[in-house]
Amino acid sequence: MSWITEFPQLSRSELLTVRKTLDEAYREFSRSHGEAIENFFDPLLAFLVWIENLLISTPWWLVIAIILAITHFAARSLKLTIGVGISLFLIGFFGMWEDTMSTLSIITVCTILSIVLGVPIGIAMAKSNRIQAIVTPILDVMQTMPAFVYLIPVVMLLGIGKIPGVIAVVIYAIPPVIRLTNLGIRLVDKEVLEAADAYGVTSWQRLWNVQLPLAMPNIMAGVNQTIMMALAMVVIASMIGVKGLGQPVLQSITNQYFTQGLLNGSAIVVLAIIFDRVSQAYAKRSQRHMGGRHD
Amino acid sequence: MTDSLIKIEGLYKLFGRTPAKHMGLVKQGLSKDEILKKTGHTLGLKDINLDIKRSEIYVIMGLSGSGKSTLIRHFNRLIDPTEGKVVVEGQDIMTLNDAELREFRRKKMSMVFQRFGLLPHKTVVENVAFGLKVRGIGKEERQQKATQWLADVGLKGYEDQYPSQLSGGQQQRVGLARALCTDAEILLMDEAFSALDPLIRSEMQDQLIELQEKLHKTIIFITHDLDEALRIGDRIAILRDGELIQVGAPADILLHPADDYVEKFVRDVNRARALSVDTVMKPAKFRISAETVGEALKEMRTSKHEYAYNVTGDGYQGALALDQLEELDKSEYGELLTDEHYYDSDVNVEPDAVIEEVIPETLDQEYPIPVVDEEGKLQGELSRDTIAEVLSPQPEAGEGEETEKTG
Ligand SMILES: Nc1ncnc2c1ncn2[C@@H]1O[C@H](COP(=O)(O)OP(=O)(O)O)[C@@H](O)[C@H]1O
Ligand SMILES: [Mg+2]
């Protein structure tokens, strides 16, 4: 009775067969469909390249000016605007401007993609308990599965490059938008919803005039988290050929360049802080009427 | 105006997973608790039949959990019944499809909510215009109309504020303006004033009554507060555990509570303040028709009345007491009757006066006081005995005190 002392496991040869079959099947799939899938993502690639080129080819001072303008209109805080200006200047001063622009472009694209995909999924989850029951475990897996594991099939399918990088980042970063859109809509005050229904809204009017605006604080929090997670993925994404601040960091790890690692790491942190502060200040400002209801 | 506008027939609502399956038990007459224990379903409403007339304020009253909110949500189908009909102007609204139901809600009924249900991210004027926006009416037109209604509820100048910047009373005025702005004929108000401080609440009640005098809407008003019900209701329906216990005019409910439950509501009400004279006055039976003192004396002696109301071809003249006339000298019998002969010449009790206001006059008089309306017509009489009877505590409706129910 060997199973008492030893785990009853597949024999090596059986295991090998299983692996071989699955790998073979997937390789076959990627050989036959890889190109079609790549073509499918072409517009996305074009968009990404366009944004990256735009950011890099625009004079640095103009980019800074635009970012400062956005900061100002979003947050209306002089302190924040000055801080952002100084940070961006320092990044360029230490020779990281181009990498930062690459990272900025990929983060922008990933964030847009996450919102475009995530918000509708979140809405669907809020609408149907069944969809929620199906999607929630998938999100759990996406968030706990080590990023390297799902990089493998993506790379097998699409090779190394920007698109697999974007896909990896989006898979990693999209769950918060979905979860918080779902949560936000489910938490909308029932009486306000009833009021809207009592005045004869269509389900589209209900979504647009009531559910989304009232869920906005939560959705914004989700977007914020998504951006932070996307930034955290930058280093891992650089392993599969995504240009940007991640690559020098990766280089520093293999070559033990302490200062280079620190500088580029700091640039990532600075980007994160800018995104975070600006989006939070904007959220706070746009929702100043939502809190503190009298009763 | 007595034509019926809304009819509710045989309405049942059972909350739970498979309500239709358990309707048998409900019809067997099992109590709410028994049904909950046996089936896990909550009995919301049981065999409700209502008939609401055009332009009346119909109050639905009951303790918390008695099913008031459930009932009012059937009027515009925010809740669908398990069984029964809701008929508005002859049309059973259960037969409406989605698009028709939306149309019905946009045009026929509007609703005011206990916690206001305003959109926090929209300005006050946008909130008021919401119903029109939903209907697809252009921005300019709806803003203009909303501004007008805001002025009508006394919130001129608050157009561009946000709800969170307003007090509770002001927010509910916005809720009321929003409901009126759609020009819906029927207004549903679910404990609309219950969240407000007492002073603000009575202000809002006054405002509602005042608006109703102009607008003549049909208002279904939910409350758990009997004073509020008596104050604004034309008729009151009382609900307990999903069942209709009594429907009647305010005075009916006060003077003839149907059972212990209603009795308990009614007990603490100050009747002198809640009832008007016409609800308790008696018919003025003793009438004579005399020109002179002598004629009056003669008529009263033959009919053996201690007092009488003199009604001539010119209408009501005044009230006479036999003993006062008998004190007069025979030489005065030929005189015409004047104010100095009538005992009510310096009192004036109108039918819609509140009893409290007329207590002093009534108690001062040995004889009943005539109740005379604005046009000078005699409507009835009010005696000390009647007042005493109305104001003294009622005998218990049931045998002894019911044990206090908890929860
Ligand atoms: N959606 C629901 N599901 C289950 N039970 C409900 C639901 N809505 C109301 N009830 C029950 O129906 C009863 C009446 O509730 P409600 O109409 O809110 O009372 P009221 O407004 O008079 O306080 C209560 O026992 C309540 O628990
Ligand atoms: Mg209620």
Confidence of residue B5 (pLDDT cuts 50, 70, 90): very high
Which pLDDT does position B325 carry in this prediction?
84
How many angstroms separate the CA atoms of B215 and B207, rounded?
12
Q: How far is the CA of B44 from the centre of ligand 2 (A)?
A: 12
Superfamily of domain B280-390: CBS-domain (3.10.580.10)
Is the Cα dihedral A106, A111, A117, A121 positive or negative?
positive
Say which ligand is closest to the CA of B62: 1
CA–CA distance, B288 with B308 (Å, rounded to integer): 6
Is A194's CB within 8 Å of B113's CB?
yes
Contact check, Cβ <8 Å, B120/A289: yes
Q: Does B171 touch chain A (CB under 8 A)?
A: yes
The phi and psi torsions of B224 (rounded to 5 degrees) equal -110, 10
Ligand 1: nearest atom to the Cα of B62 = 22
In one-letter notation, the amino acid at residue B99 is A
pTM, rounded to two decimals: 0.83
Rounded percentage of chain B residues whose pLDDT exceeds 90: 61
Measured between CB atoms, does B106 come within 8 Å of chain A?
Answer: yes
**B54-78+95-270 shares its CATH topology with B280-390:** no
pLDDT (tens digit per residue) in B306-358 = 889 988 888 888 888 888 888 888 888 888 888 888 888 788 888 888 888 88
Taking only the tens place, the pLDDT of each residue in B193-239 is: 999 999 999 999 999 999 999 999 999 999 999 989 998 999 999 99
Structure tokens at A156: 């097998």
Confidence of residue B407 (pLDDT cuts 50, 70, 90): very low
Q: How confident is the model at residue B376 (pLDDT cuts 50, 70, 90)?
A: confident
- b/e sequence A226-237, b meaning 16+ C-beta within 10 Å: bbbbbbbbbbbb
pLDDT band at B292 (very low <50, low <70, confident <90, very high): confident
Is pLDDT of B406 > 50?
Answer: no
Stretch B144-155: mean pLDDT: 96
pLDDT computed for residue A109 by the predictor? 93
Could you give the CA distance from residue B189 to residue B251 in angstroms, rounded to a whole number? 22
Residue B174: the pLDDT is 97
Taking alpha carbons only, the member of B313, B295, B292, B314 closest to residue B303 is B295
B132-139 mean pLDDT: 96
Give the pLDDT band (50/70/90) at residue B45: very high
A/B interface, count of CB pairs below 8 Å:
86
Q: Are B210 and B178 in contact (CB under 8 A)?
A: no
With CA atoms as reference, report the closest residue to B74 among B65, B84, B66.
Answer: B84
What pLDDT, on a 0 to 100 scale, did the predictor assign at position B201? 94
Are residues A198 and B109, on separate chains, in Cβ contact within 8 Å?
yes
Q: Where are the alpha helices (DSSP H) in A58-174?
A: 60-75, 78-93, 97-127, 129-144, 147-158, 162-173
Q: Which atom of ligand 1 is nearest to the CA of B15?
A: 4
Nearest CA-CA partner of A210 in B134, B165, B77: B134
Domain ranges in chain B are 54-78+95-270, 280-390
Instruction: Give the ligand whose atoms come closest to the C-alpha of residue B61.
Output: 1
Closest residue of chain B to A287, computed from CA coordinates: B121
- Any bridge partners for residue B111, and if so which? B188
Q: What distance in angstroms lies between residue A48's CA and the mean position of ligand 2's atoms? A: 54
With bands split at pLDDT 50, 70 and 90, how would you rate the model's confidence at B80? very high
Q: Chain B partners of A210 at a C-beta cutoff of 8 Å?
A: 119
Residues of A with CB under 8 A from a CB of B: 189, 191-192, 194-202, 205, 209-210, 213-214, 216, 287, 289-295
CATH superfamily ID and name for A41-58+95-290 = MetI-like (1.10.3720.10)
CB B24 within 8 A of CB B14: no
pLDDT value of position B367 = 87
- Span B58-84, average pLDDT: 96
Q: Are B128 and B144 in contact (CB under 8 A)?
A: no
Q: What is the CA radius of gyration of chain B?
A: 27
Residue B394 pLDDT greater than 70, yes or no: no
**Residue B401 reports pLDDT greater than 50:** no
Q: Within chain A, which residues score under 50 in pLDDT?
A: 292-295
Do B245 and B239 contact (CB within 8 A), yes or no? Answer: yes
Rounded to two decimals, the ipTM of the complex is 0.83
Extents of the domains making up chain A: 41-58+95-290
pLDDT, tens digit, 9 for 90 and up, residues B252-265: 898 889 998 898 88
Interface membership of B222 toward A (CB under 8 Å): no
Residue given tokens 């009534």 in the structure block: B362
Domain B54-78+95-270 has CATH 3.20.20.70: no
Q: Kindly compute the dihedral angle of the four CA atoms of residues B369, B375, B380, B385, in this order, to the nearest 10 degrees.
A: -30
Give me the residue label for tokens 């269509």.
A202
pLDDT confidence band for B395 (50 / 70 / 90): low
